[in-house]
Amino acid sequence: MAIVKMKRLRLLALRPEREKLLRALQHLGCVEIREPAIDLSDPAWEGLGKPEAAGLEKAKEQSLQLSSALEALRRYAPAKDGLFTPLPQATEAQLFDDRAYAEGLEAARQVLEAEQALAAKAAEQAKLQTQKASLEPWSSLDVPLDAEGTATVPVHFCSVPVKASFAALEAAVGQATELAQLIRAGSDRELQYFLLICHHSALSEANEAMRAFGVSRVTLRGWTGTAAENIALLNNRIAALGREAEQTRADITALGSKRGLLRRCVDRASQEISREENKLRLIDTDAAFLLDGWLPAENEGQLEKVLSGFQCAWEITEPTPDEYPQVPIKLKNNPVTAPFTAITEMYAMPAYDTVDPNPLMAPFFILFFGFMMNDIGYGVLMVLGTALFLAKAKPRGNMRNMMSMFFMCGISSIFWGCLTGSFFGDFLAKLFELTGASVPGYHDAAGAFVWFWKPLFTPINDTITVMIGSMILGVIQVFVGMAVSVEEKFRHGQALDAVTQEIAWYAIIIGAALTIGGPMIPGAPAVLGTVGTVVLVVGVVLLPVGSVLRSKSALGAITWLWDAYQGISGYFSDILSYLRLMALMMAGSIIASVFNTLGSVFGLVPFIIVAIIGNTLNLVLNLLGCYVHTMRLQCLEFFGRFYQDGGKAFRPLAVETKYVDILKEEM
């Protein structure tokens, strides 16, 4: 339960063995390759270079092709994966099988070509539909679309805005000339269409009469035969394209059987990308290459065993204090505290050679979450839901960590629910009241019925108790954070700071509590207040002494007042922040009670319906609120006492998959 000790690796190996060695390191999964601090533009390093990026580009291209094929299958042949469907298992040999990879790439090519063909057919159908729409207005005319009339009486295809009166247009043309005739065709949303048959000698008069109506000529080049004949041909082609598209969709659906292979190939491509990206961090010569990186000290023996099979030289050393900011961070915890690594990574990784916060945070997080949720029913749902998901879906990584964390928080909620007697709020009390059932039970201090057993306290009726309890929990966590800070300062040779800061404030807070609260405790000895005063005075004296010693001047005797003000306001506000524990506990209880009471007004059946809906909503809100506020208390009030961030997570070259679980095997 600590930050894993790391060692630095420097490796010089033959270039022909580079691919094989990188694959071996990827299988081992314990070496993080980093960029060496070498300026290749410096003439002193002439002859050194970086590996080519062609392999990375190829791997990315293949990954994109495979992922696109999977996305196409998702659209045309959706998978029937359920929420609790576990990932299939595969060995590394199956993952890196070149024949299977080639087959997957071929399947991806077929899927993408089929999708492209489908897109082309859809585009052609859209084009034909547009052509059909342009011919529809002329379908009533038994006139060839390429008709031009005669030399003396030409035929013109025309249109006029739909808002214009066609009758007025005909009248205007008739007044202008008797040698013109308008034959109305059809219309669409914007235009009316008609034929103009006019003797060439009267064409100018007809055009002049039509100009006021906004008439324009329609060009129908490339068409032969009537509009109806062409529409029939277009319908036949559109129908044929539809059948072809259906066949293409069926072909894509049939390729859905390759989904598992494609997923495994996507994971294979991601391994290639990872290895090629790490390769670009190497330094090359014509005959050899240099690798610089980090590994956990506990894996040193395994690495040396692997490297002994190659013609290479290596050096493994302890990091110096100057290198600590560069050392990647790996956290090692037990099954109870490991799930909280997800929270630590969301906040910031600790600096190397400091404290792993997970073992310290885990019990408080679990305790605080359950304190705010405090309901047996909600806790049981959390435990059963997360246990079922973990057992059936077998999630990995952060998802597994989050589910495990909520499982433990559910147990804590059941514990606190047992103390308050809450089961979906007062659901059982209302249920028994509506059904008239006579069951053994207890009543709380306000006289409300509580099933199971007599509650130790209830949030609604024992507000002061809940408030004091919240602040006591806050003081305990703050004191633990201060204790960790004291230990760290002593370990790093900062004893003066530890004594005149955290220990001084221990004395001030405890001394003040004994001085003020000692006389209020029934039967407490009178000397308790005196002891508290002495402890308080010692703490108050240590603050200015420490300030003077640190500043090494009389100025410290003045600046300590500001430090004292900041300390008092800081500790006071931090402890008050823990009142959110009380607020969330009361809010959840009150909301559940409101929904239960609201439903009980209308009878048994409405009560059950409203209670289910209301408590479901309350559970969701509580999950979010309890998680956010518990995490806030850890990240601000607790971590602020001792936590030193600045570390970067350990990211070794390893086999990391999305779609399959890899069964580890010996090389």
Is the residue at 446 inside a domain? no
**C-alpha–C-alpha distance, residues 307 and 9, integer Å:** 12
Q: Residues 571, 587: one domain?
A: no
> Of 559, 575, 591, which closes a domain?
575
Is the residue at 434 inside a domain? no
Q: What percent of the chain has pLDDT over 90?
A: 56
Q: Residues 34, 59: one domain?
A: no
Domain containing 188 — which CATH number?
3.30.70.2750
Q: Residues 109, 258: one domain?
A: yes
**C-alpha–C-alpha distance, residues 133 and 139, integer Å:** 10
Is the residue at 129 inside a domain? no
Q: Residues 350, 413: one domain?
A: yes
**C-alpha–C-alpha distance, residues 425 and 449, integer Å:** 12
What pLDDT was estimated at residue 194? 94
Is the residue at 597 inside a domain? yes
Q: Residues 416, 341: one domain?
A: yes
Which pair of tokens denotes residue 223? Answer: 């068409």
Grouping H, G, I as helix, E, B as strand and the rest as coil, residue 405 is helix
Q: Residues 213, 181: one domain?
A: yes
What pLDDT was estimated at residue 398? 86
Q: Residues 181, 310: one domain?
A: no
CB atoms within 10 A of CB 496: 13
Q: Which amino acid is at 240?
A: A
Is the residue at 442 inside a domain? no
Q: Residues 234, 108: one domain?
A: yes
What pLDDT was estimated at residue 555? 62
**C-alpha–C-alpha distance, residues 89 and 449, integer Å:** 52
What pLDDT was estimated at residue 520? 66
Extract the residue ranges of the chain whose pLDDT is less than 50.
667
Q: Residues 206, 159: one domain?
A: yes
Q: Residues 571, 584: one domain?
A: no
Is the residue at 403 inside a domain? yes
Q: Can you state the angle between helices 427-435 and 579-600, rounded to 10 degrees? A: 20
Cβ contacts of 24 within 8 Å, gap of 6 or more: 306, 309, 310, 667
CA dihedral sign of residues 161, 165, 167, 168: negative
Question: What is the tens place of the pLDDT at every residue in 84-136?
Answer: 788 888 888 899 999 999 999 999 999 999 999 999 999 999 999 999 999 99
What pLDDT was estimated at residue 556? 58
From first CA to last CA, the distance across the chain in angstroms is 30
What pLDDT was estimated at residue 40? 67
Question: 33: exposed, middle or buried (C-beta count within 10 Å: 0-12, 13-18, 19+)?
Answer: buried
Q: Which amino acid is at 348?
A: A
Domain containing 314 — which CATH number?
3.30.70
The boundaries of the domain holding residue 3 are 1-51+292-323
CB atoms within 10 A of CB 583: 15
What pLDDT was estimated at residue 44? 63
Q: Give me the number of domains the chain comprises.
A: 5
Is the residue at 470 inside a domain? no
Q: Residues 106, 250: one domain?
A: yes
Question: What is the tens place of the pLDDT at every residue in 447-495?
Answer: 555 666 778 888 888 889 999 999 999 999 999 999 999 998 898 888 8
Is the residue at 634 inside a domain? yes
> Of 575, 602, 626, which closes a domain?
575
* CB-based contact 459:495 (threshold 8 Å): no
Q: Residues 559, 540: one domain?
A: yes
> Of 575, 602, 637, which closes a domain?
575
Q: Which of 367, 419, 377, 445 is closest to 595 using CA atoms?
A: 377
